[in-house]
Structure 1
Amino acid sequence: MLENEKISVHQFRVLVTFFTIGTSILVYPSILARYAKQDAWLVVIISIGIGLAVIWMFSKMTQFFPNMNLAQINEKVFGKWLGKFFTFFYVLVAFIASAELLYNSGTFFRLNLMLETPVEVLHIMTALLLVMAVRIGLETFSRAAELFWVIFILLFLMLLFVIPEIKFQNIQPVLENGVKPLLFPTLILVSVSTFNAIYLLMIFPASVSNPQGAQRAFYIGLIIGGMITFITTILAILVLGADLTARTRFPSYLLAQKINVGEFVKRIEVIVATMWFIAVYFKLILYFYACCLGLGQMLNLKSYRPVVLPMGMILTVFASMMFPNVVQQQKWDTEGMLMLSNIAGGFLPLLIVIVGYFRRRKA
């Protein structure tokens, strides 16, 4: 099963950028500061460099197996049954990642904006939007991403009003404890923003009108998303300080509360909430689309759409009972999900590239 939908290079670049940003601008500055302290901004720079190497590996996969999505590549490389097993693994990881994003969105709005609303209601509302977007297809939600990208950039520029609150002593001294404290948070950020981008291979290159242009767009989208994450992280460190950033679950939201321009532009944290929800929503769409498309491929269905609604219902229930508390979620992010991301976006793609290389040499 291969969907016949096609998107433009620009649309693919926007999707890559939204996927790279995802939860990074709201949640991960806190995680990075917890491990790297005032050097958290250096972690983002290093992760961008490593991410470009990972994207190169993904591009090699598509060159060895052109006009195939990730599920088809698995069956081509590993055979029918083992390939379906690995596709099931990817579907499972995509489902878990979708559930966690749904959990994060519900928790954020429940704690900060809708205090009296049950989190289950928030999950159902978001899941309805998710199911609708995935059912109408790749072309439609890609065009929507183009529109929301403009809104996202305008909202992000308003975050720069916090610049007068900057204190450069907050990032000093640089590399006080050396490079070692940067290694683990770099692995976390690369896993979330780049290793998991393996799911974009359900779209690239088979569903992009210009595969060569899409390859460049892959790199550009990663760099743009990485720079937005970098700006958000370094502003959080410069304004809030490393300690407060590490102790705050949503430092970017607190950062927006610090904005005060002439006693006129202030308390615009809802802008950060809107900006973050746009990025998370499209990352959630991409995860769930990859999950349903991979499941349809694995079951040899003519279309993935019949599984979207049932999977959406299961996803909503699973997200509501996924974590008993925040501590368990943070432990899962730095242990369980980290391991799954490394296998899905690191080990298996590397194995596929090696197999593809030797097959080409043999041919």
Structure 2
Amino acid sequence: MNGYRQISPGQWFFISLFSTICLTPFGFPTTLYRFLGHGAWVPIVAAYLLTLWSMYVSLRICERFQGLNLVQWSLKVMGRWVGSLYAIGVVVVMYLWGVFMLFVFLDLIIYSQLHYTSRFLILIFLIGAVVYLLSQGLEVWVRWGELFAVLLLIGLLFINVPQLANANFSNLLPFHNPVLELSTYLKPELIAALFIFRGIFSIYFLHPHIKPSKHLYRWSMFSITLAFIAVLAAIVLPITIFGASFAGKLAFPYQESLGTVALPWLPIERITLLTPIVWQIIIVYVLCVSLFSTARGIKSLLNMKKERMIIYVLGVVTLGLTIYPVQQKTVFIFMVYWSLIGGFFLIVIPSFLWAIFAIKRGGAK
């Protein structure tokens, strides 16, 4: 067992929601516009449906192996060698998720607000805060996230709803090729988009610490649905405001669409000033979940008693990997192949295992 359960289903809801929204509004949109034009929302809907299925599978597997995280039950099911290889693959995927999202966030925050701020200072602040929270234990960083959860929800409403005033939904028409061509979706970049709601897969490491509840599936489905609405808005709103062709030429279309809205009745007239605060809190969520999952996986693989030193090492390694800027195009290429590998490890293989368990259970009856 991994110790007593410390997370309520409500706390899991917020962890799942904000880590699933992640930095997705700034990672994939330009590519989707380039390939699909005003039909860029189609892969988002497909990813949502696939994630609902993956969530169902993950919860069934977690319930089958109560008290065990993914590393522990994979060693039990697949054997020492195959299970270790699979577990290492998942741990690397979960870690790189945080690293790639940190690259995206740094590009965004420097581009939009902190033009002259040292990259090193931003990283020291973020990684230092995350390492400190994680070193204090699971309950501390979960409660920290819960403290800002409602403010984040309000912030997301303030960011998205005012943009509707400038939206022209006729920009989403007509619904024609290449949106309807199946061959279009076979491109690696679009297949990779199916893995954009990856925050939900932290359940494989957090489930042993979630208090038992008959409604966990309902909480999870609700969080994914809200995350889907937020990400869908981030894809659709720039199209309705700028048109798909112009939006595809922007570095951060969603950030630029925010700049079209003014709220004179607020002390802060431009909502673009609110976005760095929102995404800074969200990146802390993401890094906490990513590094926690990674540290817990390494701890289980190496059969260690404590993980604080692992967290410190991960913090230093993350700082070293992200301290030097990398071109957005290079980061995106790595993200595409990472997403394909992540989808295989966290969607395909668990679905295959669930099918085997279901067949065996049926045969036993």
Give the TM-score of the pair, scaled to structure 1. 0.91
Q: Does residue 356 in structure 1 map to residue 357 in structure 2? A: yes
Corresponding letter in the other structure for 1:161? P
Is the CA contact (8 Å cut-off) linking 1:52 and 1:222 kept in structure 2? yes
Corresponding letter in the other structure for 2:195? S
Which residue is 1:39 aligned to? 39
Deviations 1:328-351 (A, max 9, x none): 1122222x2122212221232123
Distance 1:266 1:170 in 2: 27
Corresponding letter in the other structure for 1:252? Y
| Deviation (angstroms), 1:355 | 4.1
Alignment of 1:310-349 (within 5 A): 310-321=313-324, 324-334=326-336, 336-349=337-350
Alignment of 1:54-69 (within 5 A): 54-69=54-69
Q: Secondary structure at the match of 2:221?
A: helix
Distance 1:118 1:17 in 2: 30
Alignment of 1:184-333 (within 5 A): 184=187, 187-194=191-198, 197-204=200-207, 206-261=208-263, 266-321=269-324, 324-333=326-335
Distance 1:23 1:191 in 2: 13
| Deviation (angstroms), 1:50 | 1.9
Q: Does residue 12 in structure 1 map to residue 42 in structure 2? A: no
| Deviation (angstroms), 1:362 | 6.3
Distance 2:16 2:214 in 1: 15
| Deviation (angstroms), 1:142 | 1.7
Distance 1:177 1:103 in 2: 31
Corresponding letter in the other structure for 1:343? F
Residues 187 and 25 (structure 1 numbering): CA distance in 2 closer, same or farther, change over 3 Å? same
- Give 5+ residue unaligned stretches, structure 1: none
Q: Secondary structure at the match of 1:93?
A: helix
| Deviation (angstroms), 1:296 | 0.6
| Deviation (angstroms), 1:147 | 2.2
Which residue is 1:166 aligned to? 167
Distance 1:17 1:129 in 2: 21
Corresponding letter in the other structure for 2:139? E
Q: Bigger CA drift: 61-70 or 8-17?
A: 61-70
Corresponding letter in the other structure for 2:224? L
Q: Secondary structure at the match of 1:311?
A: helix
Distance 1:186 1:49 in 2: 15
Q: Secondary structure at the match of 2:209?
A: coil
Q: Secondary structure at the match of 2:152?
A: helix
Distance 2:28 2:259 in 1: 18
Q: Bigger CA drift: 85-94 or 295-304?
A: 85-94
Distance 1:101 1:246 in 2: 20
Residues 261 and 312 (structure 1 numbering): CA distance in 2 closer, same or farther, change over 3 Å? closer
Corresponding letter in the other structure for 1:79? G
Is the CA contact (8 Å cut-off) linking 1:99 and 1:319 kept in structure 2? yes
Distance 1:101 1:277 in 2: 11
| Deviation (angstroms), 1:47 | 2.1
Alignment of 1:78-227 (within 5 A): 78-159=78-159, 160-180=161-181, 181=184, 184=187, 187-194=191-198, 197-204=200-207, 206-227=208-229
Q: Secondary structure at the match of 1:26?
A: helix
| Deviation (angstroms), 1:287 | 1.0
Corresponding letter in the other structure for 2:64? F
Distance 2:257 2:133 in 1: 31
Distance 2:201 2:108 in 1: 27
Alignment of 1:46-57 (within 5 A): 46-57=46-57
Residues 344 and 26 (structure 1 numbering): CA distance in 2 closer, same or farther, change over 3 Å? same
Residues 37 and 178 (structure 1 numbering): CA distance in 2 closer, same or farther, change over 3 Å? closer
Distance 1:279 1:188 in 2: 22
Q: Secondary structure at the match of 1:174?
A: coil
Deviations 1:244-265 (A, max 9, x none): 3222222221111100245976
Residues 8 and 263 (structure 1 numbering): CA distance in 2 closer, same or farther, change over 3 Å? closer
Distance 1:269 1:36 in 2: 27
Give the TM-score of the pair, scaled to structure 2. 0.90
Is the CA contact (8 Å cut-off) linking 2:2 and 2:67 kept in structure 1? no
Question: Sequence identity of aligned pairs in percent?
Answer: 17
Corresponding letter in the other structure for 1:278? I
Residues 231 and 28 (structure 1 numbering): CA distance in 2 closer, same or farther, change over 3 Å? same
Provide the alpha-carbon RMSD of the alignment: 2.3
Is the CA contact (8 Å cut-off) linking 2:163 and 2:261 kept in structure 1? yes
Corresponding letter in the other structure for 1:101? M
Is the CA contact (8 Å cut-off) linking 2:39 and 2:179 kept in structure 1? no
